[in-house]
Structure 1
Amino acid sequence: MDKFQAMQAFIRVVESGTFTKAAQMLDLPKTAVSRLIASLEIELGTKLLNRTTRRVSTTPDGAAYYERALQLMGDLAELEGSMSHAKSNPRGRLRVDLPVPLGLSVILPALPTFTARYPDIEFHFGLSDRPVDLIAENVDCVVRAGEIFDQSLAARQIGAVRQILCATPAYWDRHGRPSHPSDLEQGHVVIRTIASRTNRPFPIIVAKNGERIEVQNRRGLTSNDIMGCLTMSLAGLGVVHALTFSANTHLRSGALEAVLSDWASDPVPVFVAYQPNRHLSTKVRVFVDWLAELFAGNESTARGERGTGA
């Protein structure tokens, strides 16, 4: 048995969910993939996969073996990537966790420019805002807005995001357009995002000419997802302190109307965090550099710039 090939076959079966798809990905007959997995199970002395007529799933031993095999393959790709040729042509799998709004609105839509530049890098993206254990979950890097609480990680600021107060024109027609942030505290519904770490709404703080106001409004709606808050505002349910990069399309179309645009909130820094290895892998380094380039070229995420909401 070619253990390296068997390990590759096992990983592909787990990821695709079927022997047929794995065989197509490996350009092997399905029977050859089945034999490789069977030989691997015999050598290891344990069952790795549960097989049904429709789908394949891992046993507990199989799930543990998959994580270690994936790490070994990543280490091998990293070893190859450290060679001189791979420094200019990085390759291998990159596992990245992105926050949902930035991932869906900014990073993933621009990914073709990266894959055209580095076609030999494969991706697995997670979309979440939860804390991620990079070692235990075999993740190469995470992108997060706000403070990085895990002090064991290396972090690089790649941009900043801004927010703007907005609602539908129909909502403003019903409730009136505010001339001061304090106007939102009476007769308005304010939609807030709940912070996962504290289970409390994020504060809405804006400033103008040295005056700093925190909008206090007990009448409102909440969600643990910022895109959910934007969706509720688009439905006419209330005022949202929306991320400009998510709201801009709706502002341009007229679906949302911004107010108090001369009252600015503090930009929220965006970081990419990774394990503080002395030699940052080539594939991670080029991805981090690309992210910094991407954010610098976007007026809604560039550092030191203020979004207009236009």
Structure 2
Amino acid sequence: MDIFHSMQVFVSVVETGSFTKAAQALHLHRPAVSKTIQLLEQQLGARLLNRTTRQINLTPEGEAFYERCKTILADVSQTMSSLGNRPARLIGKLRVDMPVSLAKLLIIPALMDFQSQYPGIELTIGASDKPIDMLSEGVDCVVRMGELEDSSLIASSIGYLPMLTCAAPSYLERFGSPRTLADLVVHRAVNYFSGNNPRPVEWLFTVEGQVKRMRLASGISVNDTEAFVASALAGFGLLQGLEISVRSHLQDGSLVQVLDELEVPAKRVSILYPHRELLPPKVDVFIEWLKALMAAHHLA
């Protein structure tokens, strides 16, 4: 029995809360995961998990063993990283999913630098604004913006993107330019919704140190970042979006900033992955490279 492998399987089951998800994360068959846990319990002479049809709970012995396993696996991972994972030895495919705007405007233009540092890593980039299931789709890590839904994934904040409010001159000619938050009541917005949830994302402003949340009447609602900006350019309404997404349009005058005296909270950027202790070196170096990229653009 490979005790190190068994510890990895056990930690994966605990952190995913599922034999099936652990099997997917570790690229194993579910029966193999179940058998590994059974043999581990037999060798230790203690029940580690209480299983029901709907959930898995740690026993007191399982809780203690889980904490020890995390420490041991972290120590082994750190040792391997310090001694064996030089850039030239990092090989294999790395699949990352990220928002369209962030991929096109910031990350992909800089990715040749990553490839030059780690030529053995083959990148597969999914550029999508839709939620995905990392385990079932075989994605190593995902980059996300804004507030995160609760999940079993590990999330690491890597920076913040400036936000602002703007509109096309054609819209402002018809409806006027808002001067205060109260003026927004009579305005229309280009609203954004995510995934299958049709409820638009809230508008945010920082007022006297407090974040004020608002919902504006929709001139149009979209769930794609490129359609989001295109709708503002077409004059459908005011837009509150990433500065990086509208920068060129502000420079050429096709969009005009409004309410510029009111601060819009920056959008947090996070990277998510399944397990901290079992993090593959190729994912680890990508996270560090991405953090450095954000810092280089003064976005950390």
TM-score by length of 1: 0.65
Maintained 8 Å contact 1:208/1:262: no
Aligned equivalents of 2:206, 2:85: Cα separation in 1? 49
Aligned equivalents of 2:144, 2:207: Cα separation in 1? 27
Shift in alpha-carbon separation, 1:213–1:157, aligned structure 2, 3 A: closer
1:96-126 deviation digits (Å, cap 9, x = unpaired): 1111121122111111111122111111111
Kindly provide the amino acid, as one letter, of the partner of residue 155 in structure 1.
A
Partner of 2:287: 288
Would you say 1:220 and 2:219 are equivalent positions? yes
Uncovered stretches (5+) of structure 1, i.e. residues with no partner: 1-67, 73-80, 304-310
Partner of 2:142: 142
Would you say 1:133 and 2:154 are equivalent positions? no
Aligned equivalents of 2:291, 2:125: Cα separation in 1? 18
Shift of 1:227: 2.5
Within a 5 Å distance, the mapping from 1:12-91 to structure 2 comes to: 84=83, 86-89=85-88, 90-91=90-91
Shift of 1:267: 2.3
Would you say 1:110 and 2:110 are equivalent positions? yes
Shift of 1:162: 3.1
1:230-258 deviation digits (Å, cap 9, x = unpaired): 11111222211121110111112222110
Aligned equivalents of 1:256, 1:209: Cα separation in 2? 27
Maintained 8 Å contact 1:156/1:272: yes
Shift of 1:211: 6.9
Shift in alpha-carbon separation, 1:167–1:98, aligned structure 2, 3 A: same
Uncovered stretches (5+) of structure 2, i.e. residues with no partner: 1-23, 29-79
Aligned equivalents of 1:212, 1:123: Cα separation in 2? 38
Percent sequence identity is 35
Maintained 8 Å contact 1:100/1:128: yes
Aligned equivalents of 1:216, 1:148: Cα separation in 2? 19
TM-score by length of 2: 0.67
Shift of 1:275: 1.7
Shift in alpha-carbon separation, 1:153–1:212, aligned structure 2, 3 A: closer
Shift in alpha-carbon separation, 1:160–1:210, aligned structure 2, 3 A: closer
Maintained 8 Å contact 1:180/1:260: yes
Shift of 1:217: 3.3
Shift of 1:212: 5.6
Kindly provide the amino acid, as one letter, of the partner of residue 156 in structure 2.
R
Shift in alpha-carbon separation, 1:237–1:148, aligned structure 2, 3 A: closer
How many residue pairs align between the two structures?
A: 225
Shift of 1:283: 0.9
Give the 3-state SS of the residue equivalent to 1:135 in structure 2.
helix
Partner of 2:259: 260
Aligned equivalents of 1:245, 1:135: Cα separation in 2? 30
CA RMSD of aligned residues (A): 2.7
Partner of 1:184: 184
Partner of 2:270: 271
Kindly provide the amino acid, as one letter, of the partner of residue 179 in structure 1.
R
Shift in alpha-carbon separation, 1:276–1:240, aligned structure 2, 3 A: same
Maintained 8 Å contact 2:154/2:275: yes
Partner of 1:152: 152
1:190-244 deviation digits (Å, cap 9, x = unpaired): 1100133632011112123357654443352111123212111112222111211
Maintained 8 Å contact 1:166/1:258: yes
Shift of 1:287: 0.4
Maintained 8 Å contact 2:168/2:232: yes
Shift of 1:150: 4.8
Aligned equivalents of 2:207, 2:147: Cα separation in 1? 24
Partner of 1:95: 95
Maintained 8 Å contact 2:203/2:216: no
Give the 3-state SS of the residue equivalent to 1:221 in structure 2.
strand
Shift of 1:83: 10
Partner of 2:233: 234
Shift in alpha-carbon separation, 1:150–1:214, aligned structure 2, 3 A: closer
Aligned equivalents of 2:147, 2:211: Cα separation in 1? 22
Partner of 1:202: 201
Shift of 1:281: 1.7
Aligned equivalents of 1:208, 1:156: Cα separation in 2? 28
Shift of 1:289: 0.5
1:47-83 deviation digits (Å, cap 9, x = unpaired): xxxxxxxxxxxxxxxxxxxxx9xx69xxxxxxxx979
Maintained 8 Å contact 1:194/1:224: yes
